[in-house]
Amino acid sequence: MATMPIVLRAQPDWLGAAQTLIEGCCSLDGVEDRVRWLENLCLTLGDQLYPAFLRVLCLVGEHAEPLAQQAVAATLTE
């Protein structure tokens, strides 16, 4: 069964995506779980949506609370 590729919406919910990223990096218990979740997210998005992922990361860096920023950064660097 083939899966449908993920396509960027005409009007993306950037803040919602940033919140989902933060929640994933904050709510999972172990480092391995967080890293696995982030790896799966990136693989699912693929190369075509990498720029969208970078935009979400920028929103986290520019607008999120410091603890949320730290959680995302820690997950990215594990």
First-to-final CA distance of the chain: 33
Encoded tokens for 21: 């990223």
Global pTM value:
0.85
Full pLDDT tens readout for the chain, 78 residues: 556 677 888 898 999 999 999 999 999 989 999 999 999 999 988 899 999 999 999 999 999 999 999 999 999 998
pLDDT at 6: 79
DSSP the chain: -PPPPP---SS--HHHHHHHHHHHHHHSSSHHHHHHHHHHHHHHHTTTTHHHHHHHHHHHHHHS-HHHHHHHHHHHH-
